[in-house]
Amino acid sequence: MVQDLQRLKETPSQTAGPYVHIGLTPNYCDIPGIYDHDLGNSMINDQTLGERITVCGRIFDGADTLVRDAVVEIWQADNAGLYNSPSEMRGTADPNFTGWGRCPTNGEDGYFKFETIKPGKVPFKDGRLMAPHITLWIVARGINIGLHTRMYFSDEMEANSVDPLLLRIEHRERVETLIAQKDRDTYSLDIHLQGPKETVFLDI
């Protein structure tokens, strides 16, 4: 007689809901008393090593409309290419740099903004060096699973041209969706969730 295994069914996925930015950044949303300050709102201090930069951008939906209530998190290496992580085995990262930040999109103009440093190169899994980049994670209402993408730098075109991940993008014109444009010390990158200008997202 065959035994009934009574397998459990997968729990249905759910969207982040319309209030994710409130829960993750309460002080920004004028709800004090939960945290002294919103987690991830400061990545650097006056002793952080490296070139100071500002990273900013906007998020657009499939109708090319601004998403004003999303949350963006970034994760990056320090200026020497080391991560502030227990799993970093190549050396010790800058203790004055968190390597992680969180920011909601501004309700008025839809911008997210991070004060950070330009990261160094880090190795790909096969040892090849990747171009300097910042990993972004985006969550908002209507998104079942947070979206991962990357931001590369327009003034690192030589490194970008041999980056192992960028080389894997089949449709070469879409590489530009990951390249942030530089204006003095600010790099700007708009994220398009759908449509003809859809950003390349990573399945990780």
The string of DSSP letters for 105-170 reads: PPTTT-EEEEEEE----EE-TTSPEEPSEEEEEEE-TT-SS-EEEEEEETT-HHHHTT-TTGGG-S
Q: Is residue 6 part of a domain?
A: no
Q: Is residue 73 part of a domain?
A: yes
Q: Is residue 84 part of a domain?
A: yes
Q: Is residue 81 part of a domain?
A: yes
Q: What are phi and psi of 70, to 5 degrees?
A: -90, 170
Q: Is residue 9 part of a domain?
A: no
Record the pTM.
0.89
Q: Is residue 5 part of a domain?
A: no
Structural domain harbouring 101: 20-192
Q: Is residue 77 part of a domain?
A: yes
pLDDT at residue number 27 = 84
| Residue 95 CB neighbour total at 10 angstroms | 12
pLDDT tens, the chain, 204 aa long: 677 777 787 777 666 766 777 888 888 888 888 888 888 889 999 999 999 999 999 999 999 999 988 999 999 999 999 999 999 999 999 999 999 999 999 877 889 999 999 999 999 999 999 999 999 999 988 787 899 999 999 999 999 999 999 999 999 999 999 999 999 999 999 999 999 999 999 987
pLDDT at residue number 3 = 72
Cα separation, 118 vs 151, whole angstroms = 11
Q: Is residue 46 part of a domain?
A: yes
Total number of domains constituting the chain: 1
Cα separation, 26 vs 204, whole angstroms = 28
- Residue 4 structure tokens: 């009934």
pLDDT at residue number 13 = 66
CATH of the domain at 29: 2.60.130.10
